[in-house]
Chain A
């Protein structure tokens, strides 16, 4: 078993409010690990702390055996953690293909002078980046819209584009924040299958946040449940489904298999 991400006792405060309390999780290569919990439970915060956007007040994050707590977001990204955002963050004014090509920036080996003169590693790198970007777009069924403006895509396609972009980073670990929010049931099912194929074909691990319970239960190997920033359960989908503590945390919301609609963009 290849341990990728190892988070230990991570706590995050927002001006006195504790958004995350002693959060721990391990993700290995080939895993799809779910992270669920009611609105405001601290799921996104856990991702933000992992990717360096928020500094945790205690605890540590190890990635591939290296301590990455305190690293800057771009450094963490280059070390192999790619993510998507709950409220889709595309480069809206750029074309679809450019969105994906940007993620390859850190793999560019040419200097700006080579770029200006169009010599050296420039052409080779550009060709490689471009064909790789096309490959990823094809993989996500976005090949046809490659030269369209990103903001013109329908919601579901934007989510897919965000994932293509994350994959262009050649990550070892993929963190998906509500990837199927806004997708219709067919798209969701297809995406689930896609995720499983991806895991089987690439040497990566996946961390997954979503409110769509049937989707999460279907694709995840193990699930961590958060409530008010506190980890309340850890187990297989079937164990989580029947965990009384989880059910009570979700009390008042529509748990158990059906999609929980949530009001947040």
Chain B
């Protein structure tokens, strides 16, 4: 019964989201639409990042590198052969890649798969031993990606980057992928695989004593999360249409870290809420960094101000509000309806 009701409510809210997006698509300005797409991409990233950091408890600092891998992969696969001939001026592109061109959807899938494979390669040495090596290796990989991308001229076009990508990414693609990611992640977390990840997070020794292969489940969580980060990279590439090795800075990872921490490490719901808040709020905070004229006073924006604020928030949340918005709890229709009922009865009194 409750299951049936929940399904109907879920479908209904997806319908509302759909209607809202349709409305937004034809009525909102370019800037607002861009923010809406950013929100979708950041939800995708945050939810998958939360899977490895929050659910499986393995501290990764890899999202910016995975974004980069996904962005490059998908861009390489959608660019037309003519465009490739035109951009690769220093060194021609490696042969099979230079003539391949696939539809956007296929390129996203390939981006996801390639990124997941990279994650698996990284996981092999890292998860063989216990300890926080994932943090260092994934952080290092971000640097190494830049080095590799700058030096593999015939694949990535070096520091020139890839230009002239077709702007495939629109409201529907970004929100479609976002809903898909949330769906897959939530289902996974609620299955035995998700429970095994949590067991490893809570106590690896006890998890292994219960027959859970910690190496395997950690690698799986990492690859699963990297898959969606790679797909998000593909989306991002075809949103901004020009990518270069230095574009995917650690800033992305840092923003995501803030999001999952504020949302509550381990809570998918929290990641979604915080992704919306931070993407929106971060946009609003941009004014700190840009020159502005405030009530007649000239204010020369200060670059880095937003990041100072964000780091302070991150530290403060860690010190004083560790469970973030949601702690480790998740949204359920049961809880939501109960909450509404409470509010209503409180209003009557």
A and B in contact, CB less than 8 Å: yes
- A78 near B209 with CB under 8 A, answer no
A244 at the interface (CB under 8 A from B): no
B207 at the interface (CB under 8 A from A): yes
Set of chain A residues within 8 Å of B192, measured between Cβ atoms: 101-102, 104-105, 108, 110, 115, 125-126, 129
Set of chain B residues within 8 Å of A75, measured between Cβ atoms: 213
A203 at the interface (CB under 8 A from B): no
- A82 near B210 with CB under 8 A, answer yes
- Complex Cα spacing A104 to B192, Å: 8
- Min distance, Cβ B298 to any Cβ of chain A, angstroms: 51
What 1/0 flags go to B175-212 for Cβ under 8 Å of A? 00000000110011011110110110011011111111
- B210 near A115 with CB under 8 A, answer no
- B211 near A77 with CB under 8 A, answer yes
A118 at the interface (CB under 8 A from B): yes
- Min distance, Cβ B184 to any Cβ of chain A, angstroms: 5
Within 8 A of B (CB), among A67-90: 72-75, 77-78, 82-83, 85, 89-90
A148 at the interface (CB under 8 A from B): no
- Min distance, Cβ B265 to any Cβ of chain A, angstroms: 11
Partner of A53, one of B202, B205, B212, B213: B205
Partner of A105, one of B190, B211, B220, B224: B211
Set of chain A residues within 8 Å of B199, measured between Cβ atoms: 91, 94, 102, 105
Within 8 A of A (CB), among B191-248: 191-193, 195-196, 198-199, 202-203, 205-214, 220, 224
Asked, given contacts A91-B202, A92-B202, A108-B192, whether A74 binds B211 with beta carbons under 8 Å apart, the answer is: yes
- Complex Cα spacing A102 to B61, Å: 28
Asked, given contacts A102-B195, A115-B187, A129-B192, whether A93 binds B328 with beta carbons under 8 Å apart, the answer is: yes
- A85 near B206 with CB under 8 A, answer yes
Within 8 A of B (CB), among A194-247: none
- A105 near B210 with CB under 8 A, answer yes
Set of chain A residues within 8 Å of B220, measured between Cβ atoms: 112
Partner of B211, one of A89, A103, A126: A103
- Complex Cα spacing A51 to B207, Å: 13
- A77 near B210 with CB under 8 A, answer yes
- B206 near A101 with CB under 8 A, answer no
Partner of A98, one of B195, B205, B214: B195
A253 at the interface (CB under 8 A from B): no
Asked, given contacts A93-B328, A116-B188, whether A83 binds B209 with beta carbons under 8 Å apart, the answer is: yes
- B209 near A105 with CB under 8 A, answer no
Chain B residues with a Cβ under 8 A of chain A: 183-184, 187-188, 190-193, 195-196, 198-199, 202-203, 205-214, 220, 224, 328
Contacts A102-B195, A110-B191, A115-B191 aside, 18 further interface pairs with beta carbons under 8 A come to: A72-B213, A74-B210, A74-B211, A74-B212, A89-B209, A93-B198, A94-B199, A102-B212, A105-B211, A106-B210, A112-B188, A115-B192, A116-B183, A116-B184, A116-B191, A126-B191, A129-B192, A169-B211
26 A-B contact pairs sorted by A residue (CB < 8 Å): A73-B208, A74-B213, A74-B214, A75-B213, A89-B205, A90-B202, A91-B203, A91-B206, A102-B199, A102-B207, A103-B210, A104-B192, A105-B192, A105-B195, A105-B199, A106-B212, A108-B192, A110-B191, A112-B224, A115-B187, A116-B183, A116-B184, A116-B187, A117-B187, A125-B192, A169-B210
